[in-house]
Amino acid sequence: MKIKNVSFNGEAKSEYYRSVKYYKDIDVQLSEEFYDAVQEAILDIKKFPDSGHFYLHNTKRKPSYWEKRIK
């Protein structure tokens, strides 16, 4: 799942939702399915750390940045 832009809609349900709230580009509405996809990607990175990079919103942030925010 390739994610470019995410919108924030509704109340913050978790630290993850709050962490992406400040992004301005709005294309995709956050959903539980999206949240699960991000969690799965981080789990994959834990299992295969050399398999590639996970970037959200085309940022340069490393997986560890998102891992801290997704519990």
Q: Where are the domains of the chain?
A: 6-69
Q: Is the pLDDT of residue 33 over 60?
A: yes
Report the distance separating Cα 17 and Cα 13, nearest Å: 6
Q: Which stretches of the chain are DSSP H helices?
A: 15-20, 32-47, 63-69
Report the distance separating Cα 36 and Cα 32, nearest Å: 6
What is the average per-residue pLDDT within 27-49?
Answer: 61
pTM over 0.75: no
What is the average per-residue pLDDT within 3-17?
Answer: 43
The pLDDT value recorded for residue 31 is 61
Q: What are phi and psi of 47, to 5 degrees?
A: -75, -40
